[in-house]
Amino acid sequence: MDESPRYRPLYQQVYDFLVKQIAAGEWGPGESLPSEQALAGRLNVSQGTVRKALDALAADSLIDRRQGKGTYVAEHTQERALFRFFRMARPGGARALPTSTGETLKRRVARPADAAKLALEPGAEVYELNRVRLIDGEPAVLEKIVLPAALFAGFERHDPLPNALYALYQREYGLNIVSAQEELRADAARKDDCRRLKLAPGAPLLHIDRVAISLEGTRVEWRASRCDTRHFAYAVTLS
């Protein structure tokens, strides 16, 4: 383990090492990690140090610890990704899981806003996906999703796209979404919002800007969601 001047506690060094190994594909999504004892021997640290690092990885949703079975790299299933990252809920907190319709996908040169959000070089290309999210069969969220084309070679071949994209990013491109930066603001419905979400002109909307970040710290996706909140709310639990 590292003992440089910028010293980090030993369990955090083990945490960093395991994150790098997962990012490099040493253990793929859904695959089991070596036992605590084996990792401790490999890294020349105590089993307690390894356990503390694994606890931190589990708290960050990077691994799953299954009683009596072992430790596994977390996998973005459709249901898990939706539950973790889709935050629209009915009054009282019951989660509302969406379906999708009206998808359009195109490849184009990144605009200045895309480049700023995704840390892209001038002239880089992106994919732009637009779709409507339905809740209980009714349009509720209008999404625009921008992806760096360099990270998603041949993205257009995935037709139709799955309901939860993060599972696709992990399975097909080795991109594990582990965190997201969000900005929320109130807005008024514009012409396209009214047409696709069946709203009156000027109706109130919740606008959510989200940048999804991979295990390696790469900005993988910029998603702008315009949400009809007449029957739903943005729900988050703080602890």
Query: Residue 3 has what pLDDT?
Result: 43
Position 76 scores a pLDDT of 65
Strand segments (E) across 38-171: 63-66, 70-73, 88-89, 99-109, 125-135, 138-148
Q: Which residues contact 50 (CB under 8 A, 6 or more apart)?
A: 11, 14, 36, 39, 40, 43
Instruction: Indicate whether this model's pTM tops 0.85.
Output: no
Average pLDDT, the chain: 88
State the residue for tokens 């590292």.
Answer: 2
Q: Sketch out the chain's domains with CATH numbers.
A: 10-73 (1.10.10.10), 78-234 (3.40.1410.10)
pLDDT tens digits, one per residue of 168-217: 998 889 888 888 899 999 999 999 999 999 999 999 999 999 999 998 88
User: Which helix or strand (DSSP H or E) is residue 55 part of?
Assistant: helix 47-59
Phi-psi region of 24 (alpha: psi -120 to 50; beta: other; left: phi over 0): alpha
Helix, strand or coil, per DSSP, at residue 216 = coil
> CA end-to-end span of the chain, whole Å?
32
The C-alpha atoms of residue 144 and residue 141 are separated, in whole angstroms, by 10
CA distance readout (Å), 201 to 38, 71, 188, 234: 62, 52, 8, 22
pLDDT tens by residue, 64-123: 888 888 898 887 665 565 556 777 888 777 777 888 999 999 999 999 999 999 999 999
Is 215:62 a contact under the CB 8 Å cutoff? yes
pLDDT tens digits for 54-63? Answer: 998 888 778 8
Residues forming a β-bridge with 186: 206
